[in-house]
Amino acid sequence: MRTIYNDSHALHHGKVEMFRGELVPCFEVPARVDHVLRALKARGLGAIEAPDAFDDAAIARVHAQRYLDFLAGAWDEWVALDPANATRDALPSYWPVRTFRSDVLPASFPARMGLFSYDAGTPLTAGTWTAARAGARCALTAAARVLQGDRAAFALTRPPGHHAGADFFGGYCFLNNAAIAAQSLRDAGVERVAVLDIDYHHGNGTQAIFYERADVQFTSLHGDPHTEYPYYLGYADERGAGAGLGCNHNLPLARGSGFGLWREALSTALRGIAAFQPGALVVSLGLDTFAGDPIAGFTLATPDYLRIGEDLARAGLPTVFVFEGGYAVAEVGANAVNVLDGFMQQAG
């Protein structure tokens, strides 16, 4: 399997995030990708390539232009507020909740930070835009390789993407790589695309982007939002709206769920995808379902990820894998590569 690797990912390296009332070191760190890259090389799973060049028009097919403009200039604005800001990351502290306006773009940088975000756990750094933009190009390149005939391709990048909406960041995510890949497949003529999110945390951004569309089906297996981040989306009764009614499928599971129950949910998801009859599949590959993950609550073991890859391959679809979460850093490489290895072994 071909891997498209973002060699700019480490330019985004947050120092701290707000977690349960205190500033703590970030869980989302460059070492996550480094471990996956080492595991890929050790396993000899396939070629590792740099992304192709794409202009930002492909990203703007998913994200609002005023949001992209903000991200592109945010760090310079942050430092312009106070030269000392060059030594610390930017975190939002104000948000336009119910009854507040979001249509007017404030002149204040802190106000715009809040307008375009939804949590205080996602630091914006000097290299965030460069890393995220290169990551989107990895997703676009992986989709292009599948369009060119590869059975599957893997976009290995960070920051992750599935929590990012059309015009907001959060959950460590700035650009929604899975949605960008799915849209590029549609734009290339694939009539229907399925997005399957297997991260522990619901892909609220991807759901929101495609919620009213019938050409992209979104399915997510995740921790129950009654108790798990992102809390405010991911319930089973969220089925889509308008033309997209019936094209959104959430399969929330209780904290502590093991592989048996999780795999049953995956089977349900894959049956729904088969009924949709897509021409391609995009997988948001989160590995924070692992038992040792510090900010999640399922109990999957490393060998289970081989079985997941096999199950995904049985769908028989051209598949784009996009790296998402997984914060048990030492184990994330083996877990990620097991999915890809299991997929390729089953696919032949």
Catalytic residue positions, numbered = 163
- Record the tokens describing residue 48, joined without a space: 């590792």
CA–CA gap between residue 250 and residue 239 (Å, rounded): 8
Upstream peptide bond of 230 is cis (omega within 30 degrees of 0): yes
User: In 10 A of CB 83, how many CB atoms?
Assistant: 8
Look up residue 245 and give its DSSP letter: T
Upstream peptide bond of 159 is cis (omega within 30 degrees of 0): yes
Residue pair 311/266 in contact by the 8 Å Cβ criterion: yes
> Backbone phi, then psi, for 27, in 5-degree steps?
-80, -30
What proportions of the chain, in percent to the nearest 5, are helix, strand and coil?
40, 15, 45
CA–CA gap between residue 285 and residue 324 (Å, rounded): 5
CA–CA gap between residue 178 and residue 201 (Å, rounded): 15
Write the CB contacts of 241 (distance below 8 Å, at least 6 apart in sequence).
211, 212
Strand 216-223, strand 248-253: pairing: parallel
CA–CA gap between residue 100 and residue 284 (Å, rounded): 32
DSSP annotation string for 13-48 = ---EEEETTEEEE-SS-THHHHHHHHHHHHHT-S-E
